[in-house]
Amino acid sequence: MNSHPKPLFKPALRARARIWVAAVLLGFTVGVHADVKFKGLDSSQEQNVRVLSALATTECDSARWRVERLYRDADKNIRDALRALGYYDLTITKALRWDDACWHADFDVQVGEPVRFREVNIDISGDASSDVMFQSRIADSKPSPGDIFNHGLYSNYKSAVLRAASNTGFFDLDIKASKVTVDKDAHSADLLMQIDSGEKYRFGEVSFTEGILHGYVLRGYTDIQSGDPYTAKSINDLYEALNGSSYFSSISIKTDPLDKDAKVVPVIVDLAPAKRRIYSIGGGFTTDTGPHGRIGFTNRRINQKGHQFESKLFASTVLSELNATYRWPKRDPRREWFSIVTGFQHESTDTSSHDSFKLGFLRSKSLGPRWLQTRYVDFAYEDFTIGDQSSISELIIFGTNWESAVGRALSRATKGHRLSVDLRGASDKLGSDTSFAQIRAKAKWVHSLGEKTRFLARTSLGITSKDELSELPASVRFFAGGDNSVRGYDFESLGPRDATGAVIGGSYLVDVSLEVDRLFRDKWAVALFVDGGDAFNDTHIKLNTGVGIGLRWYSPVGPIRLDLAHPLDDPDSNFRIHISLGPDL
């Protein structure tokens, strides 16, 4: 008698399992779009067809009658979609088939020759016919003979005309006629558009909220004069200038109601004052200065003339300073300011120490949108010790600084640069203890290498013309090494040395840094870098090199950097840790 193996599942369980498997398989098909193919179309044509075709988004489990109806209507959807792009002469071959998994639709579309503009007649009457700004705003989108009759681009041109009218002061502009005649047999179209711009509006008086700043200060934030032709750019420039002034917490500019009879646009500026006094306190740690603390006070509006005051106290074991600045705008507060600055500083490093006092007068002026020029004269008193030399220096320093920064960001800068050039000097014939001339230049460049990777380059150059370097105080000499110079070496530990081996600073400075970093989390990046540089007195340059790896955290208060650097030219040191913070540019 043969024995049969006992079934693993009872018949009822097997039936339930088959039902469960079928349900799972069905679940995988629910919500899956069918395979709908369009041949003969480029990417833009296919994209437009799919957007207007309901069949292309129909799912596999849709009812057969619905699929067949949409398949039947697909021809019209395809023709409408391609006609909008200028293709009127179509040949469509299609097929629909079914299998156990889903249904499939294939469309082979021959688009034929597109319809192109043959004649383009755009008649503009009114002041806009000779308005250069209006004409330039609509030039790029204007159809030309030979262009494909793309309905979307044609509509965009009409929208551009209306936007240009609003931005350039033609508030009464009217498109009286807009007609396109299509000859499908000739694959051509004729455009006729009649535009009446009417009279160009002009600015009326500009009024500001009273009681915050004097009227002459506020008027310095705009070039708008009553009677000037209206432009939206002038309104935007006024807003941006006021917003960047730090005087106001909110700004609202109204240009209505329009005076339709006089063709005048009023400008009413509603302002709310910003908090006048600001106090700040903070602390941190960097390798160069060690643990430090800072306290700040700012009065952003001492009086209605727009005068401001700022003071800062910074204290650490290496560097401590107290500075104060009193500043006020000139006639144009967007571009020109005067400042009186004063401060005390104490610095003590392994190479030098000094106590200094400075009193200076500055005139800062914008040179276009990207450059700031600052001319200054400083009276500097410094009691210093460098190596075995101790002395007191009194200098009257005249200088000019040029600075440009593009792409600066609080967190991670992805593209931009910062340049700074400073020319300064003193003369014993003008009250200084000694004479010298000096050039200091710094540059930094950030460039993205994809979504997560950046390349950063930095350089500093310095040249001093002086017969005897020993007569110059520590603040005028050049030193290298540290967090923002050549990593792997102590702060200001690189430069010429005296007979005792102490670093005494140099007349020249060169340092260069190359770095690549890559994000590995949202606010975290890892970096590889190489730095090289030195301070020196003659033409022989010996670059000290440091290489290393770093970690970056883009915190809410700015980037914080932790670097591990190896000095290639210091056999007695294996590595040095650098901690620094501050913006990339």
Domain boundaries defined on the chain? 17-110, 116-196, 202-273, 325-581
Residue ranges of the chain with per-residue pLDDT less than 50: 1-30
At residue 351, the pLDDT reads 78
Taking the C-alpha atoms of residue 470 and residue 395, their distance in angstroms, rounded to an integer, is 14
What are the angstrom distances between the C-alpha of 279 and each of 74, 266, 295, 300, 377? 68, 39, 8, 11, 29
Helix axes 151-168, 132-139, angle to 10 degrees: 160
Question: What CATH topology corresponds to 325-581?
Answer: Porin (2.40.160)
What lies within 8 Å, CB to CB, of 409 at 6+ separation is: 416, 583, 584, 585
Which among 416, 449, 441, 419 is positioned nearest to 528, based on CA atoms? 449
User: Average pLDDT over the chain, rounded to whole?
Assistant: 89
Report the distance separating Cα 263 and Cα 445, nearest Å: 49
Helices (H), 169-274: 215-219, 232-243
- Give CA torsion, residues 362, 333, 406, 231, to 10 deg: -160
Three-class secondary structure of residue 47 per DSSP: helix
| Span 17-110 CATH architecture | Roll (3.10)
Helix (H) or strand (E) run with residue 3 in it? none
Residues linked to residue 439 through DSSP beta bridges, in sequence order? 423, 463
Q: How many percent of the chain have pLDDT more than 70?
A: 94
Q: Measuring CA to CA, which residue among 284, 287, 283, 285 is closest to residue 564? A: 287
The one-letter amino acid at 465: S
Name, in order, each residue with C-beta under 8 angstroms of 69's C-beta and a sequence gap of 6 or more.
Answer: none
Is there a common fold for 17-110 and 325-581?
no
> Would you state the pLDDT for residue 31?
54
Residue 394: CA count within 13 A, CB half-sphere: 6
Residue 286: enclosing H or E segment and its boundaries?
Answer: strand 277-286
Pairwise CA distance, residues 552 & 32, whole Å: 44
Q: Which of the listed CATH numbers 3.90.226.10, 3.40.190.80, 3.10.20.310, 3.30.9.10 matches domain 116-196?
A: 3.10.20.310
Structure tokens at 238: 């006024």
pLDDT of residue 214: 95
Residue-level length of the chain:
585
Rounded Cα distance, 242 and 565, in Å: 45
Q: What is the pLDDT of residue 30?
A: 44
In tens, the pLDDT along 16-28 reads 444 334 333 444 4
State the Cα–Cα distance between residues 184 and 313, nearest whole angstrom.
79
Q: Which CATH number fits domain 202-273: 3.10.20.310, 3.30.450.20, 3.40.50.2300, 3.40.50.300?
A: 3.10.20.310
